[in-house]
Chains A and B, each alone.
Chain A
Amino acid sequence: MQSKAEQVNDGQATRPIEAASFDVERIRKDFPILSRTVNGKPLVYLDNAATTQKPSVVTASICHLHESTNANIHRGVHRLSIETTQAYEKARLRVARFIGAASETEIIFVRGATEAINLVAQSFGRPNLIEGDEIIVSNLEHHANIVPWQILCEQTGARLRVVPVDDDGNFLLDEYQHLLTQKTKIVAILQGSNALGTVVPVHAVTRMAHEYGAKVLIDGAQAVQHHEVDVRSIDCDFYVFSGHKMYAPSGIGILYAKEELLDAMPPYQGGGEMIKSVTFEQTIYNDLPHKFEAGTPNIEGAIGLGAAIEYLENVGLSNIAAYEDKLLDYATTRLAEIPEVRLIGTAKEKVSVVSFVVEGIHPHDIGTVLDQEGVAIRTGHHCAQPIMQRFGVPATARASMSFYNTHDEIDRLIDAIHTAIGVFA
């Protein structure tokens, strides 16, 4: 996993490590934080759906920027500005290739998936929706893919419709079909559920919406780090994700949108960088993608995201998917062996997230006991209260796994749950 930021080889196909040689111990050396201890015990980090740890190459790419090329972008004629602009735009190109976009002009750097969804709601939704139109989301959505649409509904008089899930947390495609009508203008659905792990069949979701002329936004915040994503194969109109959940820094994220949509959309924010010329009489907006990037952007975030993508491509998304599947199977099996544990979310297809409750113990208490054992998990409603309500629980404990986790760490999780049961028995 070598390679410094300045050696980014401009999207040449990188050779993935063979699945047979997937060496988790070698991978772990790329993440210095994994060798720290918590409460005197080796850290077991299983809160990857909240945020992932950062490999050294990402840190190095940001250090390199700060110590060797730092300048503002798209402005100066001096050498530093040229070099930093090139690194920033190289990161954009890398993102475009990573998700299969037709062009890097379709890649907008934003703060995160949340900002990307708000941008689409306000710049696409607000001018295009009228009273009586409908927006479809699912019961699985993160608050970030609910609240911006509720705001849009208040502004336009549009109505929010919700696709239900079954008792295993599967997205119900038939129910979705029933909700689609000529009134449907936007379908906003996640690809992977942060709360339950459910994977939604986004190809079918998109195809079905397009039959009714609706535009489709896919929230990929819990997908891009787990398996290959190709936005042109999905054919979605918008695709959003956050950097910090895919081994990049926080404060950087991506909005992908089809070029003709971005062309027609008004800017989200005004300021520097997003203009060609300004007079008090008239302002001419900049070309894509800059039209949507007002102000000095998160330069180090974008460069760090580029480095993270290069790292993921070197490890190989197919290797990651195969390994994380094994971890998920193992964690699911081991948790199911504990009589007091009830799994929440047992969909047919899942990313490596296991949500559960333990009889007689509040998730918060589980989280504290596990922390004492050095095991970091998330407890709470995971910013997805509607799906908690669907399963009749105020909160769950959630272990979310990355390809740097090991089977031994799952054993540590299981042991710690037994400790918690011992405390509260």
Chain B
Amino acid sequence: MSELTDLYQELILDHNRSPRNRGRLENPDGLAQGYNPLCGDQISVSVKLDGDRIESIKFEGSGCAISTASASLMTQSLKGKTLEEAGELFNRFHKLLTEEGNAEELGQGMGKLKVFSGVCQYPARVKCATLAWHTVKAALNNKEGNITTE
């Protein structure tokens, strides 16, 4: 049996209470809306690029603690990354949430994002944690678009 504190770690609760990089960028290079029909979570992510590097990134919307904290921590970890690095991080983050295995190993080099390792015990919540990531992916790929987790 997993404990609640495995999922709702202090860092997640903190980013839920005070999300970082909240808002919308003026004249973004990429912008997308994400929607999780299951729980009604809505998020909008805007990105500004400097070449192929993410110069700044912001999000706004409403969602549960997991999706809000995930969006907040995502913006922190993507800032300054190249598009390739961002894609690689997304893949690893997805693996961390969906693959059974050693969380320490899977989370290596992921910094604060490791706090989401508990989510894999709660399959119903994986989409909450990945919503912001799917949205930023859409923002970077299509420059403009709407995505949904379903």
CB within 8 Å of B: which residues of A?
Answer: 39-40, 361-365, 368-369, 372, 379-381, 385, 388, 394-395, 423-424
List 28 A–B pairs whose Cβ atoms lie within 8 Å, in order of A's numbering: A39-B1, A40-B1, A362-B41, A362-B65, A362-B68, A363-B64, A364-B39, A364-B41, A364-B64, A364-B66, A364-B128, A365-B8, A365-B64, A368-B7, A368-B122, A369-B4, A372-B4, A380-B38, A380-B40, A385-B40, A388-B40, A394-B39, A394-B40, A394-B41, A394-B62, A423-B13, A424-B16, A424-B65
Q: Is B70 an interface residue (CB 8 A)?
A: no
When C-beta atoms are compared, the residue in chain B nearest to A385 turns out to be B40
- Bound CA span A379–B16, Å: 19
Set of chain B residues within 8 Å of A40, measured between Cβ atoms: 1
- Bound CA span A395–B125, Å: 15
Q: Is B107 an interface residue (CB 8 A)?
A: no
- Bound CA span A222–B29, Å: 49
Q: Is B42 an interface residue (CB 8 A)?
A: yes
When C-beta atoms are compared, the residue in chain A nearest to B8 turns out to be A423
Complex partner residue of B42 from A365, A379, A394, CB under 8 angstroms: A394
When C-beta atoms are compared, the residue in chain A nearest to B68 turns out to be A362
B122–A381 touching, CB < 8 Å: no
A423–B4 touching, CB < 8 Å: yes
- Bound CA span A364–B13, Å: 14
A368–B125 touching, CB < 8 Å: yes
- Bound CA span A344–B38, Å: 19
Task: Tell me the minimal C-beta distance from A192 to chain B in angstroms.
Answer: 23
Tell me whether A364 and B4 are in contact in the complex, defined as CB-CB below 8 angstroms, given that A380-B40, A424-B13 are known contacts. Answer: no
- Bound CA span A40–B1, Å: 8
Complex partner residue of B39 from A39, A363, A372, A424, CB under 8 angstroms: A363
- Bound CA span A320–B136, Å: 51
A365–B40 touching, CB < 8 Å: no
- Of residues B8, B38, B40, B62, which shows the largest number of chain A Cβ atoms within 10 Å of its Cβ? B40
A362–B4 touching, CB < 8 Å: no
B1–A362 touching, CB < 8 Å: no
Set of chain B residues within 8 Å of A372, measured between Cβ atoms: 4
Set of chain A residues within 8 Å of B4, measured between Cβ atoms: 368-369, 372, 423
Task: Tell me the minimal C-beta distance from A376 to chain B in angstroms.
Answer: 12
Set of chain B residues within 8 Å of A361, measured between Cβ atoms: 65
Set of chain B residues within 8 Å of A39, measured between Cβ atoms: 1
Task: Tell me the minimal C-beta distance from B131 to chain A in angstroms.
Answer: 11
Task: Tell me the minimal C-beta distance from B69 to chain A in angstroms.
Answer: 10
- Bound CA span A424–B64, Å: 11
When C-beta atoms are compared, the residue in chain A nearest to B65 turns out to be A365
Set of chain A residues within 8 Å of B1, measured between Cβ atoms: 39-40
Task: Tell me the minimal C-beta distance from A398 to chain B in angstroms.
Answer: 13
- Bound CA span A362–B12, Å: 14
- Bound CA span A390–B97, Å: 35
Q: Is B63 an interface residue (CB 8 A)?
A: yes
